[in-house]
Structure 1
Amino acid sequence: MLKPILTFSLIISMCFLGISQSNQDELQLMQSLYGMEKRDIVAEFVELSEAQENEFWVLYDEYENKRKALGQERFDLLQRYVNDYGEVRPENAENFMKQAIPIRIKTDKLRDTYYQKIKSRTDPVVAMQFYQIENYLSDAIRMELLEEIYTTKKQ
C-alpha cells in the first residue's frame, strides 16, 4: 500500500516542478498518467467484493472525469498566479481568492456527493475507503503545490 502512494507522490512532485512551463498538452498527459496511477492506488486501497466492483468503478470513473475538470480550473488559476507573481495587488488577491475558494468548495462537494453515491450502491465501508484515499491524495497534492508555489507578497 505504501509503495504505490510513494510512487504517486513522486509523480505529482515531478509534475508540479515544471508547473510554470506546462502547456495544455502536457497537462492532459499528466492528468492521463495521474489518472492511471491513481486508479491503481484506489484499487489497492478500496476493498471491493466481486458484486461491488462494476458499480464502484462506474461511479469512480464519473467522479474522476468531474474531478479532472475541476483540476483543470485549479491548474489554470495557479498558472495565472505563477505568471502574476510579484505583482499581487489587493484587487488581484481578492480576484484570485474569489476563484480559488469556490473551486475548493466544488471539489469537496464533489467528493462528498460521490461518497453518498458509492455508499448507496456498494456499502458504507467501501464509501469510507473511497473518501479516505481521496482525501489523502488530495491533501498530498495540496502539500506539493504549497511547497512549489511562491509565497504571496504585496506589491
Structure 2
Amino acid sequence: MKKISLTLILISFFSMLAAAQTEKEDMAIATSIFGKTKKAIITQYMQIADKDSKAFWDMYDQYEYKDNAINQEGLALIKQYTDNYNTLNDSLATKIAGEYLNNTTKYNALYKVYFKRFKKLVGGVKAATLFQIEIYIQTAIQANLQSQIPVIGELQRLQH
C-alpha cells in the first residue's frame, strides 16, 4: 500500500508541476538558479543602446510569446507522461517521445528565426549573446524540471 501511495503522490506532484508551469514560474526558476529574473540577466549582458531599446524589447516580447507557447506544449507532454506513467506502453511512449523531439525542433526553429531578426536589429555579436543566454537559461530550467521527473520504470524499480 505504501508503494502505491508513493507512486500516486509522485505522479500527482509531477502532474501539478507540469500543469502549473508558466512564464512566471520560468522567471521564478531563473531567479532561483541565477539570482535574477530572465529579463534582468538579458539587460545586464546585452547593454542595448537607447535608440534600439524599444524595438529590441518589443521583438523580445514577441519572441517570448512564441517561446512560452512551445514551453506549454512541452509541459503538456510531461503531464501526459506523468498521467500515464503506470500504464505507459510502447505505443504511447513512442508517441510522447516523438512529440517531445518535435517540440525540441520547434525551439531550434524559433531560435533561427529570431536570431536573424535580432541580428538585423542589434548586430551579430549581440544576437549571438542573446541566444547564448536564452539557451543557457532554457537548459537550466529544463535540467531542473527533468531532475524532478522519474525515468520510465524508475518507480517500479524502487518498489522492488
- Unaligned runs of at least 5 residues, structure 2: 1-12, 29-36
Q: Which residue of 1 aligns with 2:26?
A: 34
Q: Distance in 2 between matches of 1:97 and 1:115?
A: 27
Query: Structure 2 matches for 1:22-61, cutoff 5 A?
Result: 22=17, 26-27=20-21, 30-32=22-24, 34-35=26-27, 37-61=37-61
Q: Which residue of 2 aligns with 1:118?
A: 118
TM-score by length of 2: 0.75
Q: Which residue of 2 aligns with 1:21?
A: 16
Q: Which residue of 2 aligns with 1:135?
A: 135
Q: Distance in 2 between matches of 1:104 and 1:153?
A: 23
**1:46 shift after superposition:** 1.4
Q: Mean alpha-carbon deviation: is it higher for 45-54 or for 123-132? A: 45-54
Q: Give SS of 1:54's match.
A: helix
Q: Which residue of 2 aligns with 1:98?
A: 98
RMSD value over aligned CA atoms? 2.2
Q: Give SS of 1:148's match.
A: coil
Q: Which residue of 2 aligns with 1:77?
A: 77
Q: Which residue of 2 aligns with 1:7?
A: none
TM-score by length of 1: 0.77
Query: How many equivalent residue pairs?
Result: 135
**1:22 shift after superposition:** 4.5
- Unaligned runs of at least 5 residues, structure 1: 1-17
Runs of 4+ in 1 over 6 A off after TM superposition: none
**1:38 shift after superposition:** 1.6
**1:23 shift after superposition:** 7.9
Query: Structure 2 matches for 1:58-69, cutoff 5 A?
Result: 58-69=58-69
C-alpha distance 46-108 of structure 1, shift in aligned 2 (>3 A): same
Q: Which residue of 1 aligns with 2:109?
A: 109
The one-letter code matched in structure 1 to 2:43 is A
The one-letter code matched in structure 2 to 1:148 is Q
The one-letter code matched in structure 2 to 1:60 is Y
**Does the 8 Å contact 1:118/1:127 carry over to 2?**
yes
Structure number, greater radius of gyration? 2
Q: Distance in 2 between matches of 1:49 and 1:98?
A: 42
Percent of aligned positions that are identical: 24
Deviations 1:112-131 (A, max 9, x none): 21111000111111101111
